[in-house]
Structure 1
C-alpha cells in the first residue's frame, strides 16, 4: 500500500516538474518572456492560496514585465498567454477576431443556464447574438428608459421610507436598485418596483464569491477535460427557480394573461418562428424554453452585479470628490428644472453625467480582465509571437486603465478625460465593455441603468464616502473587480 502511494507521489511530482519545464521552454522558444512562478498552475495557485483577486495577480505580471508585449504563464494542460500590448490586443479582439472568437471557460453540456450568449462559442454564439441584438436597438432602449427612470424614482422613495439604509452597505443598495430595474425594464416583472425580491437573492447567490466557486472556476480554466469529467456546472442551483419562472411567463403570455414585455416578446417570436438557422454556416438552434431562459439569465445577472459595481463605484468616487459631485448635481438640477421628466434623449444629452460614468468605468471597472481562446494559429504583430490553436489568452482591463502611458495620473478621478475634446485620446487602452465582435451586447443598456440611478439619487442626496483601511483593497473576485475599502452615506439634500 505504502509503495503504491509512494509511486503515485513520485509520478505526480515528476509530471509537474516536466510539465513546468515544458511550459517554460515552449514560450522561450517563441521569444516570449515567461512568468516563472508556479510553472504548472500559474496564476491559479496564488488565486487559491491567497486573498488576492485574479486581476491583482495578473497586475503583478503586468508591472514586472511592463515592456513586454506578452508574457507566457504556467498552465496545467493548455498554453496560456497574457497579452499586454494594445496592438496585440487589437489584433486578438478585432483584426483576427475569427481566430480568437471563443471565450473561456468552456461550459459543459447540461449546464443549462450557462448555455447563453456570454459563454457560447463558434456558429452557435454568432447565431444567438444575431437573434438577440435587435433587443438592444435605440428604439427598444428608448421605450425601456421610462421604466428605468420610474424604478430610480421609486428607489429614492424606498430609501426615504427606510432611512436606516442610507448609511453603510452601499453596494447592497446598488444591488437592490439594479435588480429591480432590470426585472422591470427587461422582464416586466412586478407592476411596482420591488427592491427585496427573490430575483435579487438569486442574483447574489449566482455571483457569490466563495471557496467552492473559486475552486470550480479554477478547475474550469485549468483543464476542459477535467471539468468535463467532473461535470462541473456554474449555475445548477439557480436552474429550478429561474427556468420555472420564465416558463410561467411564456405560457401566460401565450394565453394573453399578462402583458407581453420586451424579453418575453422577443422570445415568443423566436419560439413561433421555429428552428433558427445561420445561412452562412448552416448552424441550427432549436429555441426551447430552456435555451431562451439561459439568455434571460445572462441578461439578468449581467444587469445586476456588474452594473451595481459601476453605480457603487461612481457613488464612492463622487463621495471622495465633492467638487465633482457638486458640478454633476448642478447639471442634474438644471436638467430637471427644464423638463418635467427625464427621457432617453434627455439623459443621453447629459454630457457631464456621461463623463463621470466613463471615468468611473475606467478607475473602477467592474471586470478586471477578459478571456479568449485561440481557434486558429495566428501571429501577434508586436513581437511576432506565434499563438497556436488551443492557447488560452488573458487580456488586461484594469492594468491598461491604470497605465500612465494611456491615462496620465491614472489614480486621479478626472471626468475631463472623457470630455468631447479629450475623448479620442482616451480610447487607446479603454476596455470596460470589451472590444470587437464580442463587445458586451448590453453595453448601452447598462450605461442607461446606471445613469438613471445616479440622476435621481444625486437629485435628492449628497454622497459621503467613508474610507476604511489605509490601503486599497478589493473583493477576492474571479474576474470581478470591486473595491471593499470604501462605503458610502447618503445625506438628504436641503
Structure 2
C-alpha cells in the first residue's frame, strides 16, 4: 500500500509538470480537445464508458475528439471507418491495448493483456483451437449440466433470488471453471466452484485496481520499477490450482476437449512457434495458467452482466418476455429439455433478445488501443504518433441514434435474421472487433443462451421499470445492485 501511495505522490508531481506540456497537444493538431478524462473518472461516480459517451455525444460533427489520460494523449474516435482501421486494416499500428504489465505479473501474461505483438500472436494461435465446433459441442454438454444445477440452486435458495446478480455470477464462474478443468465429480452440485471467490475479487471494481491501471497508463516505467501487479494476490491460489489439475490430467488424460486437454496437447508438441517466423515460446504451466485466468476474466463478469441486463430489460418489457417464453417452451417440448449445441441455434428470438441487451449494455463499454508506430487515420488524414491511446467508445456507438434509431428502446427486432444486413459495419461490437476480437465469443453465446433458456423455462419475471445506474468502473458496464423478482412458473 505504501508503494502505491508513494506512486500517487510521484504521479501528481510529474502530472502537474507534464500537463502543461500536453495541455494543447490536440489543439496544435487542429483537433477539438477536452479535459483530462482520467481525472474526470476519479473525481466522479460514473463509469469510464459514460464519460466517453458524453464526449462522443457532445461533438456530433467531429471525426474524433482529443484529450489526455494523465499525461498521455488520447483520441476518442467517432467515425466507423477509422475504427475499422484501428481494429483491423491497420491493426499492426494499434496491436497493443496500452496496458503495460510487469514480466513478473504472471496472471497478466495472457492474450487479453499482452502488449508484445509477437508474444500475443503466438499464444493466440495456440488458443484458437479451443473453440472449434467439436470442442464447443463438448463444452455445451458441460454448460448444460451447470445450467440445470443453476436453476435448482435458484429454486431452493431464496437468498439467491434476492441477490440475482450473485446467482448469475455463480453460474458463469461455474461454467467457465467446468469448461477449463472439467466438472468436479467430487461435488454434488457444479455451482460449488472453488474459483468463485477469486473470480469475484479479481473483477470487482476497486479504487486500488483503478490506481494501478492509472499508474500503468501514466508511466509504464514507474509501474515496472515498483514491481506492481494487477492480479498478484491471486497468483498463489490460481497457479497452484492449475498446476494440480495439469499434474492430475497427465496421469489420467480423460478429457481432451476442455482447456486442460488443449494445454496437454500444446505441452506435448514442445515450444510454441509462430507459423510465419522462427519465434518460439515455452509453454510452461505458469504461461498456460495465465491463459486459463484469461477465460475467467473474459467469461465470468461479462457473461453475468449480459444475463443480468437481459433479465432487467425483460422485466421492463412484458411483451418481449411473453414472446420469449413461447419460443423457449416450444424448443424445450420439442427436445425434451435438452439444450444441446445444435438446439442453441433454434433459440432465434432469445439470441435476438441477448443481442439487443448487449447493444444497450455492451459487456465492454469501450475498446482501448495504443499506437505502436506512427500512422495516419484514413478519414481526416490525422497523423497518430506512437504512444497515443485511441479509444473506440462502444457504449456511445451502440446508443448513437444515427446508427440505431430510437436507441433507448429495447427492440430485439433490430437483430432479426432478415435485418442482419442493415447492421452498421463496426457499429456493433459487444465482443470487440478486428484482430483482437474476443476469442471466446461463440462460447459466451452458448453460456448465456443456455443459462437464460433454462432459467426462463422455470421462472418468469414480475413487471417493473428499470433505470440503470452504472457502477464506477474503468472496464465494463455494471449495475449489480439492481434487482428483479423471479417468479416460479406453474405447470412447467
1:477, distance to aligned residue in structure 2 (A): 0.7
Match of 1:397 among 394, 398, 401: 394
Structure 1 unaligned blocks of 5 or more: 1-8
The alignment covers a number of residue pairs equal to 476
Spell out, residue by residue over 1:109-150, the C-alpha distance to the aligned partner (whole angstroms, 9 max, x if none): 100000001111301101100000010011211121111112
CA distance in 2, matches of 1:309, 1:350: 20
1:59, distance to aligned residue in structure 2 (A): 1.6
- Name the SS for the 1:198 alignment partner: coil
RMSD of the TM alignment (CA)?
A: 2.0
Q: Does 2:264 align with 1:302?
A: no
Which residue matches 1:151?
Answer: 146
Q: Does 2:126 align with 1:131?
A: yes
Which residue matches 2:38?
Answer: 44
Q: Is the 8 A contact 2:271 2:281 kept in 1?
A: yes
CA distance in 1, matches of 2:18, 2:147: 54
Q: Is the 8 A contact 1:362 1:401 kept in 2?
A: yes
CA distance in 1, matches of 2:489, 2:145: 20
Q: Does 2:253 align with 1:254?
A: no
Match of 2:158 among 146, 156, 163: 163
Q: Is the 8 A contact 1:472 1:485 kept in 2?
A: no
Of 386-395 and 457-466, more deviation after overlay is shown by 457-466
Spell out, residue by residue over 1:386-434, the C-alpha distance to the aligned partner (whole angstroms, 9 max, x if none): 1011111111100000010100111100000001121222233101111
1:200, distance to aligned residue in structure 2 (A): 0.5
Which residue matches 1:348?
Answer: 345
Spell out, residue by residue over 1:425-470, the C-alpha distance to the aligned partner (whole angstroms, 9 max, x if none): 22331011111100000001001100000101010000236558xx
Of 101-110 and 419-428, more deviation after overlay is shown by 419-428
In the superposition, the TM-score normalised over structure 2's length comes to: 0.92
Which residue matches 1:463?
Answer: 461
Which residue matches 2:25?
Answer: 26
CA distance in 2, matches of 1:440, 1:351: 22
Match of 2:385 among 385, 388, 399: 388
Which residue matches 1:419?
Answer: 416
Moved over 6 A (4+): none
CA distance in 2, matches of 1:283, 1:103: 21
Match of 2:285 among 289, 293, 314: 289
Match of 2:56 among 59, 62, 81: 62
Is the alpha carbon distance of 1:257 and 1:131 closer, same or farther for their aligned partners in structure 2, counting shifts above 3 Å? closer
- Name the SS for the 1:128 alignment partner: helix
Is the alpha carbon distance of 1:162 and 1:25 closer, same or farther for their aligned partners in structure 2, counting shifts above 3 Å? closer
Is the alpha carbon distance of 1:342 and 1:17 closer, same or farther for their aligned partners in structure 2, counting shifts above 3 Å? closer
CA distance in 1, matches of 2:207, 2:463: 30
Is the alpha carbon distance of 1:357 and 1:472 closer, same or farther for their aligned partners in structure 2, counting shifts above 3 Å? closer
Match of 1:264 among 260, 266, 270: 260
CA distance in 2, matches of 1:446, 1:257: 26
Which residue matches 2:375?
Answer: 378
Match of 1:100 among 94, 101, 113: 94
1:195, distance to aligned residue in structure 2 (A): 2.2
Q: Is the 8 A contact 2:138 2:257 kept in 1?
A: no
Structure 2 unaligned blocks of 5 or more: 1-8
CA distance in 1, matches of 2:449, 2:195: 22
Q: Is the 8 A contact 1:467 1:485 kept in 2?
A: no
- Name the SS for the 2:409 alignment partner: coil
CA distance in 2, matches of 1:217, 1:464: 40
Spell out, residue by residue over 1:166-188, the C-alpha distance to the aligned partner (whole angstroms, 9 max, x if none): 2x321111101111112122320
Q: Is the 8 A contact 2:82 2:378 kept in 1?
A: yes
Spell out, residue by residue over 1:51-108, the C-alpha distance to the aligned partner (whole angstroms, 9 max, x if none): 1111112122112222211111124443221122111101111111111111121111
1:261, distance to aligned residue in structure 2 (A): 5.3
Which residue matches 2:308?
Answer: 312
Q: Is the 8 A contact 1:23 1:75 kept in 2?
A: no
CA distance in 1, matches of 2:77, 2:126: 31
Q: Does 2:77 align with 1:83?
A: yes
- Name the SS for the 1:390 alignment partner: coil
- Name the SS for the 1:302 alignment partner: helix
1:8-23 equivalent positions in 2, closer than 5 A = 19-23=18-22
Match of 1:447 among 441, 445, 448: 445
CA distance in 1, matches of 2:15, 2:179: 51
Which residue matches 2:4?
Answer: none
CA distance in 1, matches of 2:248, 2:481: 46
- Name the SS for the 1:482 alignment partner: coil
1:492, distance to aligned residue in structure 2 (A): 0.4
Of 373-382 and 410-419, more deviation after overlay is shown by 373-382
Q: Does 2:199 align with 1:203?
A: yes
In the superposition, the TM-score normalised over structure 1's length comes to: 0.92
